[in-house]
């Protein structure tokens, strides 16, 4: 299994507009977590200009599928998104642990 980061760059009016879509977005995130795909997610703060989702999977497909139907994406709250493999090497959940 590998770690993948789904990174959103959010619109300038993200905080004002997200309320309308937040319940569905959060529900989708918890469903992905219950399937074992999503490890954790949240917004970067001060400023709130990005959000990140950490997925655990063999491929980027679950992260890409999440973004494809996320109401934040489909309703324009996300300016752009990308999925990047994250080579985790330290910590109890590291996918590629390297020990000294």
Q: Any idea what the CATH number is for the domain that residue 54 is in? A: 3.30.70.1060
19-77 confidence digits (pLDDT tens): 999 999 999 999 999 999 999 999 999 999 999 999 999 999 999 999 999 999 999 99
CA distance 79 to 95: 30
Residue 20's domain comprises: 2-85
Name 80's bridge partners. Answer: 9
Query: Is 51 among the domain residues?
Result: yes
The pLDDT of residue 98 = 96
71-85 confidence digits (pLDDT tens): 999 999 999 999 999
CA distance 88 to 2: 8
The predicted model scores a pTM of 0.94
């Amino acid at each position: 299994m590998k770690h993948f980061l789904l990174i959103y760059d959010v619109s300038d009016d993200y905080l004002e507009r997200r309320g309308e879509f937040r319940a569905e977005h959060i529900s989708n995130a918890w469903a992905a977590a219950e399937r074992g795909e999503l490890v954790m997610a949240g917004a970067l703060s001060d400023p709130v200009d990005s959000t990140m989702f950490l997925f655990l999977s063999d491929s980027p497909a679950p992260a890409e599928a999440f973004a494809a139907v996320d109401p934040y994406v489909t309703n324009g709250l996300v300016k752009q998104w990308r999925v990047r493999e994250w080579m985790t090497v330290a910590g109890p959940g590291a996918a590629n642990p390297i020990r000294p």
